[in-house]
Amino acid sequence: MTAVAVGAGPRTRSHLGSGLSRLLVYTFLLAFVLYVLSPFLAILVNSVAEGWFGGRVLPAGLTLRWFDWAFNVTNLPKVMGNSFIIAGLTIAISLAIGLPTAWALGRRRVRARNMLMTLILLPKTVPPITFALGLSREFYAFDLVDTHLGVALAHTTLALPFVVLIMSATFEGLDERVLDAGRVCGGNWLRNLVHLVLPMAMPGLMAAVLFTFVTSFNEFTLTLVTYGPETLTLTVQTYLSIGDGFLEVASAISVVLLVPSVLLLILIQRQIRPENILGGVKGL
Amino acid sequence: MAADRLLHRRPSRPGASAAWYPGDRALTAALLAPALGFLVLFFVYPILITFGTSISSPEGTGVTIDEYTRILSSPKDWGVIALTLGLAVGTTVLSVLLAIPLALILRRRIRGHRALRLLILAPLMILALVSALGLLILWDRNGWLNLLFSRLLPFSDGPLSIDYTIPGLLIFYTWLYSPFTILTTLSAIEGIDPNVEEAARVSGAAPWRVFRSVTLPLAWPGIRAGSVLTFLLAFGAFSVPLIAGGNNRPLPVLIYTEAAVFQNFERGSALAMVMAVVALAAIAIYIRFSSTTGRGSRS
């Protein structure tokens, strides 16, 4: 392996040597591809499987019954609606309180800037379960349990660090000369904000919105301690279905859950560099 | 006008240093206030509540550290802490072992390397619960992998039990959390100047020696940065061991079970505080390391 490993420069596409080493590399890559993809394949097959047990490679038949169950028995449309409402609220709250802070951290002189940044990133570094119990008790006291707003507020603790991190970097990178030009040309602050800052910050803003959406859509720990019958989300419903032993129904719900993530993955490939999402989405 | 001060640097100077920002403290404070207020209300305060619960006696009369002494004197609880740490360390080691060969191959920009880079991200984008379900189905006693093994190794005795075991959790965690290590390792290894390795080779070093003495030390800061993220995520993993752990209950599952199932909020809260302290200690060690030798990891 190492004979292949240290070779020609990294900036050129290079041939892989020959013979055994080449075979080894492709075996390794094939194994990696299968390793990453096979769980998804298993879920896809399981969600339409009829009689898939007893050591069969493929199910005996195909059925859409599990999707039917998911939609009717577990009331998937309502659950999905909850997930979208909560994600939308989370985006609104995170942007409303995150953007001013990101602007201050990115473009203004802030004392103890690093300390503030660390504090804002803390909810992403400490496992959510460590403050989930306290949050749950607080929500009971404030009557926020089983409200869309409450669950969204819980999600915002995890989304806010993203918004501040991505947007402060975006704002910091804005070209000062363009803003100056806007002012010289007589634009007032509102005009400059809408016509100059907004378009320039748009790529970062899109990234922040996407990550906030996926954070909320995929959040489990804090949802589990703040949800109720009226605010059941897709993630909690998946958990409950697995707990009830209905793996096929859980698979069907999972397929629905996969759609936004896959769309995001495609968008990322087109728009955002993978390095930017480090410290990114985690479905704890 | 306040809003004008908000948007523009004052006074506007051509070629002003990028480090120069307006310092209008009241305005800056007003901008920072909502986020900080939110964090205090929904992050700091819940932690304080958790701490308060952990030191309150069940009868609600006064303060006690009974729960902490009980945890620290219980071999069972130490076992849980060891399991949690062990899973996190094991996952980290496996991730590094996976990341290095993968990065060494991908740096060569072989055909299809873009698709592979995208594939690395897949586990990050997908809800852990969904991935865990897929892995459970895959590693089931009647699952595809056991079918494959039973054909490849006809002399083996029966299917492998992977689901709901500690090795199973290690496999699942590595699948879920290795992307962080892989991404930073890839970025670090691709950031190495090929001429340095070329120089070692020309000087007569064998490939393994070039790797061990040149490539690995240069890439190490990046590998370490990502592996700490992997460690923290594996340490805090909750949903995966909840559905795939069986009788193996790491700290987050135990915390949840104590509070939600047994309604023992005092013990659950004390365990949560222990967990937070260990997590913060890990971060502190990380920051110390990354500030002394963390340079060079970003390419």
Interface contact B46-A153, CB threshold 8 A: no
**Smallest Cβ distance to A120: which of B39, B136, B265?**
B39
Which of B9, B80, B127, B150 to mutate against chain A (most A CBs within 10 Å)?
B127
**CA distance from start to end of chain B:** 42
Those residues with Cβ within 8 angstroms of residue B56's Cβ, 6 or more apart along the chain or in another chain: B62, B63, B64, B266
pLDDT in tens, B44-86: 999 999 999 999 877 767 788 888 999 999 999 999 999 998 9
Contact B238 A13 (CB under 8 A): no
Determine, for residues A129 and B256 on separate chains, whether the beta-carbon distance falls below 8 Å: yes
Residues of A in contact with B108 (CB under 8 A): 7-8, 10, 13-14, 16
What is the spatial distance between Cα B38 and Cα B299, in angstroms, rounded to a whole number? 35
| Residue B209 forms contact with A (CB below 8 Å) | no
pLDDT-above-90 percentage for chain A: 27
- Rounded mean pLDDT, A217-233: 91
* Mean pLDDT of chain B, nearest integer: 83
Q: What is the ipTM of this complex?
A: 0.81
Contact of B20 with A134, CB cutoff 8 Å: no
**Predicted confidence (pLDDT) per residue in B238-269, tens digit:** 999 999 888 889 999 999 999 988 888 899 99
Q: What is the pLDDT of residue B6?
A: 66
- Output A15 or B288, whichever has higher pLDDT: B288
Q: Is B130 on the interface with A (CB under 8 A)?
A: yes
Closest-CA residue to B30 (of A110, A112, A145): A110
The per-residue pLDDT for A73 is: 80
Q: What is the pLDDT of residue B10?
A: 46
Determine whether the interchain pair B183/A107 forms a contact, defined as Cβ–Cβ distance below 8 Å.
Answer: no
How confident is the model over A85-111, as pLDDT tens digits? 999 999 999 999 999 999 998 888 888
Contact across the interface for A137 and B122, Cβ inside 8 Å: no
A66-91 pLDDT tens trace: 888 888 888 888 998 999 999 999 99
Q: Tell me: pLDDT of B181 over 80.
A: yes
Q: Which residues in chain B have Cβ-Cβ distances shorter than 8 Å to A190?
A: 3
Candidate from B3, B118, B252 with C-beta closest to A269: B118
Q: What pLDDT, on the 0 to 100 scale, is given for residue A92?
A: 97
Q: Give the tens place of pLDDT for each residue, B91-127.
A: 999 999 999 999 999 888 888 788 888 888 888 878 8
Measure the CA–CA gap between A192 and A184, rounded to whole angstroms: 11
Q: How far apart are CA A26 and CA A20, in angstroms?
A: 10
Say how far apart CA B134 and CA B146 lie, in whole Å.
14
Least confident of A9-18, A81-90, A133-142, B68-77: A9-18
Segment A239-256, tens digit of pLDDT: 998 888 888 888 988 888
Specify whether the CB–CB gap between A227 and A236 falls below 8 A: yes
Please give the full DSSP string across A186-233, using - where no structure is assigned.
T--HHHHIIIIIHHHHHHHHHHHHHHHHHHHHH--HHHHTT--GGG--
Asked if B197 is an interface residue toward chain A (Cβ–Cβ < 8 A), one would say: yes
DSSP code at position B156? S
CB contact under 8 A, A130 and B283: no
Question: Is the model more confident about A237 or about A54?
Answer: A237
pLDDT at B296: 41
Which residue in B109, B116, B272 is closest to A130 by CB distance? Answer: B272
State the pLDDT confidence band at A169, using cuts at 50, 70 and 90.
confident
Q: Nearest chain B residue to A198 by CA: give it.
A: B7
Cβ–Cβ below 8 Å for A160 and B39: yes
pLDDT tier for residue B11 given thresholds of 50, 70 and 90: very low
| Over residues A226-234, mean pLDDT | 91
Query: Left (φ > 0), alpha (ψ -120 to 50) or beta: where does A250 sit?
Result: alpha
Nearest residue on chain B to A46, alpha-carbon basis:
B137
Residue A249 has a pLDDT of: 87
Report, as an integer, the average pLDDT of B268-284.
87
A16 pLDDT higher than 60: no
Gap from B269 CA to chain A (nearest CA, Å):
7
The residue with greater pLDDT, B297 or B247, is: B247
Structure tokens at A217: 């859509």
| A–B CB contacts, 8 A cutoff, strictly below | 343
Q: Strands, E, within chain A: which ranges?
A: 49-50, 61-62
Write down the residue that tokens 């120069």 correspond to.
B20
Mean pLDDT in residue range A134-158: 93
Nearest to A134 among B47, B124, B184 (CB): B47
pLDDT band at A136 (very low <50, low <70, confident <90, very high): very high
**What domains lie within chain B, and their CATH numbers?**
74-298 (1.10.3720.10)
**pTM of this prediction?**
0.82
Which of A128-142, A179-193, B258-272 has the weakest average pLDDT? A179-193
Q: Which is nearest to B53 in space by CA: B252, B258, B281, B283? A: B258
User: Which residues of chain B have a CB within 8 Å of the CB of A160?
Assistant: 35, 38-39
